[in-house]
């Protein structure tokens, strides 16, 4: 029996901006089981980071969150007050941010920050917390962990800082880690190491991971399940295998065609492109959000709410007016042209 | 016979940086004896991690930095001796971040016509029409001529930067991470545009990137930089199909392509990129190298010619016999993988030695 | 035309909704900012008072009518108060409202001129230090440190008592002393802009250093310049008032606000309005300029842009 760690239904985030109401997230549904990795992938401005912040209730004050269901391990966290929520943060849910330099406090030592992360939530002595910090620093592959405790964040390289951030997020043994672009600021070789590490730790501690990224390469390698986000909505969800091998939404297909793959894409050939740009999310938008850029768009795309449909059994769904058969035909036509 | 349009001969750039509080200044060799030639019409990709000196090299080629020693010639003339305007006519950059590469206080029209103005173009009456023509060529609507950068999207801004770089029809364009600040869908548009413009104007590109997939797609020849030196150079085909330097191998191994089920590769690189102020002795890569030998920490590696270029590594030296390829690193987890690797290395080394003997 | 293109045309995309130009957005923000509106209005009133002093004044600022001295302003209950002198008269029988109008001229003149002089000096030093860095920066920093180690009021007192006091002397002394904030702010602003890639792009285009400084960097630090200029103008006005109060600024019988406070200090327990009126005027002027400066910083600060 799988244990459901997070269950989200109709999550929406509206942000008041001078030009009007920015509908950053528009009713998304998802869930994460224990030990599972869910990747939310999308381009900048699609609402993926806002989604992460809204789960942690760390949204700016101008934002309004609403949801039909927001349950962490069966507990409704929609109406928790700030004090109860901050008890959860760092304890049951932890977050890893993109820029490790700004998410560590430069005025305190690594050790201090790691210990505080535990002392805040657990009734333990400082020396117990220190032991845990050393244990975790070694776990994340930092050598000479005891000596590192006395160092300040600026004495570490970007890769090491991100390892420290990961260790910090693990201090209380959370059920769920939300990682928002954890490797975007890092070099490719370091990125591979950090992702490897995250996957290892996740298996070892049987945690759930929500990884938010724009990099389809990372998603393909790390995810159990994928949610492709576009303009505030999920447009396709399913297992990584299904989504990458049988992309069904025109946006997912377009994205995958944009990336050159060494050894597969013909060198120097034209890459696929998605014309146009992301629509403004201010105000109400009817129909499919991708219609303005979609090469298969038809009149039906502009009416009402486009429903999810099954691409295959096992939870591979996409939000499009085209049936799987039509989609397959379109792909064939496009590749022939 | 092709003449090289850019020749970099043993260029070095040393910065004096503060080593820490009250510790005075230490030399940092950002670029350390780099030699490279770029032929007319080719696309040279330069790859490496941040801090490897690729951007410093580009800035020296542009004439924005003078080399501490060595020479950089554009079309046979030393860059820092020729008139700046002359260099600017032949060589133009495209920068990484389209949000900082355009002056926010200037209209698009002003930005695109600035090169004409600076060069003292004799025909001011045609500036606007030429700028609009160029904008159309790079896929910008004419109507944005009077708009400001803040009104455009990231991809559109990068198109403005490209229009500015190309309006004086330079021969060479140096692209420093041209797409890494852009979204995937926009990235492919810009790459396609760069390809089209190259065909249209017969341009020579130098593409600097940490994204190996982009370099593989665009470049005809690739140079891999590590700590201020080019450690391997080859035509794209050979470099990607049979990388020689262990660092190149590791770099290629860490490319994450969108293919599910392959998992995240383990690059076996040690965690830390070395401090460039205090680089490791001998081969600067040896502390992270999976195939490190005794001599790697003691001697500078020799430069060894390969099929498509050269590699700077002890592994391919004539006197390295297969038996001497010993690993000194004692990581049990990696040991198994390493024996497999050592075998392949042995094979390539033998091939290498026999090939060089055959010459 | 296919269905698809019809469909596409009817959806407004972000491409079609071009954002308003930076100028239009700035205007919208300026008129939505209370500080700018209030400060700007008060400053405008004072400037108009100064410019049209000779037209709107009820009398002559130097005219002494000794039998009409110390008439209280009309809002007091005093039977002496008269509409001939709405703000009353001072100890020498001069019309206070007239002196207030003419005093605005002097305050604004000194504030503006001193700000201009210090602005030129400070901006030049700051921009050069920020752009060139290295030795130039070191030299500028040394000059700046030297300047910061001198107490403005004491140096001004010494200089004025040495070479005598006049409007010109006060302007120059203040102008030469208060450029420090210009230099500090311009230096860091220039450093910041200089590291942006459009400056590199301009260099790679072959732009001369003068052109880069004047047409690439200056427009981008202009907002900082305006903010510092307003603050320094207010600073200069306060310093002038202080100097005049000490008797080393503007000399009698010129109607400076600081001098008016000074002249009234002996009578302040009997005829408090003599001090409160010019005091309130200084307060209003400095406050309005500061409100304006803060407002400009708010509306042009990058963190305020969405």
Q: Is A283 exposed, middle or buried (0-12, 13-18, 19+ CB in 10 A)?
A: exposed
Q: In whole angstroms, give the CA distance from residue A37 to residue A34.
A: 9
Residues on chain A touching C7 (C-beta within 8 angstroms): 291, 297-299, 301-302
A318 membership: H or E segment, kind and range: strand A316-319
Backbone φ/ψ region at C279: left (φ over 0), alpha (ψ -120 to 50), beta: alpha
Name residues whose C-beta falls within 8 Å of residue A295's C-beta, 6 or more positions apart in sequence: A250, A334, C4
Mark yes or no for CB contact C22/B150 under 8 Å.
yes
Name residues whose C-beta falls within 8 Å of residue C73's C-beta, 6 or more positions apart in sequence: C81, C85, C86, C87, C88, C96, C273, C277
Sheet holding B69-74, edge to edge: B25-39, B4-18, B69-74, B77-78
Q: Chain B residue closest to C19 (CA)?
A: B151
Residue A192: closest CA among B256, C296, C152, B38: B256
Phi, psi for residue A185 in degrees, rounded to 5: -85, 5
Q: In whole angstroms, give the CA distance from residue C256 to residue A104.
A: 55
Domains of chain B with bracketed CATH: 4-18+25-219 (3.40.50.300), 242-255+282-358 (no CATH)
> Residue C198: which of B59, B103, B151 has the nearest Cβ?
B103
Other C-beta atoms closer than 10 Å to the C-beta of A93 total 25
Summarize the confidence of residues C87-106 as an average pLDDT: 85
Residues on chain B touching A219 (C-beta within 8 angstroms): 258
Say what the pLDDT of residue B265 is.
Answer: 81
B340 DSSP β-pair partners = none
Mark yes or no for CB contact C4/A296 under 8 Å.
yes
Mark yes or no for CB contact B100/C196 under 8 Å.
yes
Q: In whole angstroms, give the CA distance from residue B177 to residue B26.
A: 29
C290 vs C164: which has the higher pLDDT: C290
Mark yes or no for CB contact C12/A279 under 8 Å.
yes
Name residues whose C-beta falls within 8 Å of residue C203's C-beta, 6 or more positions apart in sequence: B64, C212
Q: Chain C residue closest to A282 (CA)?
A: C14
Write the pLDDT tens digit of every residue in C186-200: 999 999 999 899 999
Mark yes or no for CB contact C10/A302 under 8 Å.
yes
Write the pLDDT tens digit of every residue in A268-319: 888 888 887 788 888 888 888 898 888 888 888 888 788 888 887 778 999 9
**Which H, E and C letters describe B177-223, residue by residue?**
CCCCCCCHHHHHHHHHHHHHHHHHHCCEEEEEECCHHHHHHHCCEEE
Instruction: Concatenate the DSSP letters of all residues of C89-116 into one string.
Output: B-TT--BHHHHHHHHHHHHHHHHHHHHH
Query: N- to C-terminal Cα distance for chain C?
Result: 39
Domain boundaries, chain A: 4-223, 244-336
R_g of chain B computed on alpha carbons: 22
Write the pLDDT tens digit of every residue in A89-108: 888 899 888 876 678 888 89
Residues on chain C touching A295 (C-beta within 8 angstroms): 4
Which residues of chain A are at the C interface, by a Cβ-Cβ cutoff of 8 Å? 17-18, 276-280, 287, 291-293, 295-299, 301-302
- Quick check: B101 contacting C, CB < 8 Å? yes
Q: Is residue C167 a contact partner of residue C250, using CB atoms and an 8 Å limit? A: yes
Could you tell me how far CA C298 lies from the centroid of its own chain? 17
> Residue B251: which of A189, A221, A271 has the nearest Cβ?
A189
Q: Is residue A153 a contact partner of residue A112, using CB atoms and an 8 Å limit? A: no
Strands B77-78 and A316-319 turn out to be unpaired
- pLDDT means over runs of 10, chain B (359 residues): 83 81 77 91 91 89 89 88 88 89 91 91 87 90 88 88 92 90 86 92 92 91 93 92 91 86 77 75 87 87 88 83 43 39 38 39
Say what the pLDDT of residue B1 is.
Answer: 47
Residue C116 pLDDT exceeds 90: yes
Q: In whole angstroms, give the CA distance from residue C220 to residue C102.
A: 37
SS3 for A213?
A: strand
In terms of CATH architecture, what is C32-53+95-304? Orthogonal Bundle (1.10)
Residues on chain A touching C13 (C-beta within 8 angstroms): 276-277, 279-280, 292-293
A207 pLDDT band, cuts 50/70/90, is very high
Sheet holding A93-96, edge to edge: A93-96, A176-180, A208-213, A37-41, A225-230, A233-239, A316-319, A308-312
Which chains contact C through at least 3 pairs of Cβ atoms less than 8 Å apart? A, B
Mark yes or no for CB contact A291/C6 under 8 Å.
no
Instruction: Concatenate the DSSP letters of all residues of B221-240 into one string.
Output: EEEEEETTEEEEEEEHHHHH
Name residues whose C-beta falls within 8 Å of residue C4's C-beta, 6 or more positions apart in sequence: A295, A296, A297, A298
Say what the pLDDT of residue B186 is.
Answer: 86
User: Cα-Cα-Cα-Cα dihedral of A142, A143, A144, A146, to 10°?
Assistant: 30
C28 pLDDT band, cuts 50/70/90, is confident
C18 pLDDT band, cuts 50/70/90, is low
Say what the pLDDT of residue C188 is.
Answer: 93
Tokens of A52: 């992460």
Q: In whole angstroms, give the CA distance from residue C296 to residue C123.
A: 18
A93 DSSP β-pair partners = A89, A176
Q: In whole angstroms, give the CA distance from residue B68 to residue B34.
A: 12
The percentage of chain A sitting over the pLDDT mark of 70, rounded to a whole number, equals 98
Q: In whole angstroms, give the CA distance from residue A11 to residue A28.
A: 5
Residues on chain C touching B101 (C-beta within 8 angstroms): 196-198, 200-201
What are the angstrom distances between the C-alpha of C144 and each of B178, C177, C193, C231?
A: 41, 11, 21, 18
SS3 for B106?
A: coil
Say what the pLDDT of residue A337 is.
Answer: 55
Suggest the residue from C4, C6, C10, C11 to mutate for an interface test with chain A (most A CBs closer than 10 A): C11
C167 pLDDT band, cuts 50/70/90, is confident
C10 vs C126: which has the higher pLDDT: C126
The percentage of chain C sitting over the pLDDT mark of 70, rounded to a whole number, equals 91
Other C-beta atoms closer than 10 Å to the C-beta of C298 total 16
Q: In whole angstroms, give the CA distance from residue A234 to residue A228.
A: 6
Summarize the confidence of residues C36-58 as an average pLDDT: 89
Q: Does domain A4-223 have CATH number 3.40.50.300?
A: yes
Say what the pLDDT of residue B324 is.
Answer: 43
Residue C250 pLDDT exceeds 90: no
Phi, psi for residue B138 in degrees, rounded to 5: -95, 10
A15 vs B275: which has the higher pLDDT: A15
Residue C204 pLDDT exceeds 50: yes
Residue C17 pLDDT exceeds 60: no
Tokens of C276: 């409160």
C5 pLDDT band, cuts 50/70/90, is very low
Residue C42: closest CA among C99, C113, C112, C108: C108
Residue A181: closest CA among A222, A138, A236, A237: A222
């Amino acid at each position: 029996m799988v244990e459901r760690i997070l269950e989200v239904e109709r999550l929406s985030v509206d942000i008041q901006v001078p030009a009007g109401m920015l509908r950053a997230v528009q009713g998304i549904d998802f869930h994460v089981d224990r030990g599972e990795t869910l990747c939310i992938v999308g381009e900048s401005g699609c609402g993926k980071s806002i989604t992460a912040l809204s789960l942690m209730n760390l949204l700016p004050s101008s934002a309004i969150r609403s949801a039909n269901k927001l349950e962490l391990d069966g507990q409704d966290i929609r109406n928790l007050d700030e004090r109860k929520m901050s008890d959860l943060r760092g304890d049951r849910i932890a977050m890893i941010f993109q820029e490790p330099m700004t998410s560590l406090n430069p005025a305190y030592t690594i050790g201090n920050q790691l210990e505080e992360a535990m002392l805040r939530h657990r009734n333990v002595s400082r020396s117990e917390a220190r032991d845990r910090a050393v244990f975790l620093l070694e776990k994340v592959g930092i050598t000479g962990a005891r000596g590192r405790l006395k160092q300040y964040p600026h004495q570490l390289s970007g890769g090491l800082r991100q390892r420290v951030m990961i260790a910090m997020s693990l201090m209380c043994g959370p059920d769920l880690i939300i990682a928002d672009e954890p490797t975007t600021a890092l070099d490719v070789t370091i990125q591979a190491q950090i992702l490897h590490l995250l996957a290892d730790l996740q298996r070892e501690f049987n945690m759930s991971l929500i990884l938010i990224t724009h990099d389809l390469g990372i998603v393909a390698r790390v995810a159990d399940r994928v949610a492709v986000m576009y303009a505030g909505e999920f447009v396709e969800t399913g297992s990584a295998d299904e989504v990458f091998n049988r992309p069904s939404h025109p946006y997912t297909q377009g994205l995958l065609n944009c990336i050159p793959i060494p050894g597969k894409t013909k060198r120097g050939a034209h890459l696929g492109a998605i014309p146009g740009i992301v629509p403004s999310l201010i105000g109400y938008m009817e129909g499919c959000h991708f219609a303005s850029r979609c090469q298969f768009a038809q009149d039906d795309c502009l009416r009402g709410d486009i429903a999810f449909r099954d691409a295959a059994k096992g939870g591979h769904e996409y939000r499009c007016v085209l049936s799987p058969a039509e989609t397959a035909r379109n792909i064939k036509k496009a590749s022939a042209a | 016979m092709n003449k090289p349009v850019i020749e970099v001969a043993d260029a070095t750039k040393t910065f004096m940086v503060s080593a820490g509080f009250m510790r005075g200044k230490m030399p940092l060799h950002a670029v350390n004896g780099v030699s490279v030639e770029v032929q007319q019409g080719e696309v040279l990709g330069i790859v490496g991690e941040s801090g490897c000196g690729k951007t410093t090299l580009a800035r020296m080629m542009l004439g924005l930095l003078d080399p501490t020693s060595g020479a950089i010639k554009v079309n046979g003339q030393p860059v820092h001796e020729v008139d700046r305007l002359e260099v600017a006519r032949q060589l133009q950059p495209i920068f990484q971040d389209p949000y900082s590469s355009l002056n926010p206080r200037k209209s698009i029209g002003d930005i695109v016509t600035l090169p004409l103005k600076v060069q003292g173009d004799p025909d001011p009456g045609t500036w606007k029409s030429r700028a609009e023509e160029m904008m159309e060529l790079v896929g910008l609507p004419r109507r944005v001529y009077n708009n400001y950068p803040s009104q455009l999207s990231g991809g559109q801004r990068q198109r403005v930067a490209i229009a500015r770089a190309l309006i004086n029809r330079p021969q060479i364009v140096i692209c420093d991470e041209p797409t890494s600040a852009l979204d995937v869908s926009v990235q492919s548009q810009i790459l396609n545009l760069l390809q089209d413009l190259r065909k249209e104007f017969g341009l020579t590109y130098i593409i600097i990137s940490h994204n190996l997939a982009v370099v593989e797609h665009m470049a005809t020849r690739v140079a891999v930089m590590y700590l201020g030196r080019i450690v391997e150079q080859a035509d794209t085909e050979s470099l990607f199909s049979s990388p020689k330097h262990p660092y190149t191998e590791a770099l290629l191994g860490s490319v994450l392509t969108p293919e599910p089920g392959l998992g995240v590769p383990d690059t076996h690189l040690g965690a830390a990129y070395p401090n460039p102020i205090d680089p490791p002795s001998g081969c600067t890569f040896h502390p992270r190298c999976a195939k490190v030998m005794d001599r790697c920490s003691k001697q500078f590696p020799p430069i060894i010619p390969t099929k498509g270029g050269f590699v700077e590594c002890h592994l391919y030296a004539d006197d390295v016999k297969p038996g001497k390829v010993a690993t000194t690193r004692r990581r049990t987890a990696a040991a198994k993988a390493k024996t497999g690797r050592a075998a392949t290395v042995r094979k390539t080394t033998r091939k290498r030695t026999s090939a060089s003997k055959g010459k | 035309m296919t269905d698809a293109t019809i469909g596409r045309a009817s959806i407004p995309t972000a491409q079609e909704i071009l954002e308003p130009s930076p100028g239009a957005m700035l205007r919208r923000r300026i008129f939505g900012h209370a500080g700018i509106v209030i400060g700007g209005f008060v400053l405008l009133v004072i400037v108009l008072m100064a410019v049209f002093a000779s037209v709107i004044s009820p009398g002559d600022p130097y005219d002494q009518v000794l039998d009409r001295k110390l008439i209280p302003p009309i809002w007091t209950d005093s039977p002496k108060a008269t509409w001939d002198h709405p703000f009353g008269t001072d100890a020498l029988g001069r019309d206070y409202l007239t002196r207030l109008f003419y005093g605005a001229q002097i305050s604004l003149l000194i504030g503006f001129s001193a700000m201009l002089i210090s602005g030129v000096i400070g901006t030049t030093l700051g921009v050069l230090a920020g752009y060139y860095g290295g030795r130039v920066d070191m030299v500028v920093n040394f000059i700046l440190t030297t300047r910061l180690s001198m107490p403005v009021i004491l140096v001004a007192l010494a200089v004025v008592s040495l070479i005598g006091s006049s409007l010109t002397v006060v302007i120059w002394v203040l102008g030469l002393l208060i450029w420090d904030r210009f230099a500090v702010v311009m230096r860091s602003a220039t450093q910041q802009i200089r590291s942006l890639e459009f400056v590199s792009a301009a260099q790679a285009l072959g732009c001369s250093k003068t052109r880069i400084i004047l047409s690439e960097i200056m427009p981008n630090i202009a907002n900082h310049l305006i903010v510092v200029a307003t603050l320094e103008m207010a600073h200069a006005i306060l310093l002038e008032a202080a100097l005049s109060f000490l008797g080393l600024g503007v000399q009698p019988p010129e109607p400076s606000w600081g001098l008016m406070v000074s002249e009234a200090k002996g009578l302040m327990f009997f005829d408090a309005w003599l001090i409160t009126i010019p005091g309130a005027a200084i307060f209003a002027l400095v406050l309005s300029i500061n409100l304006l400066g803060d407002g400009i910083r708010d509306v042009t600060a990058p963190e305020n842009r969405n």
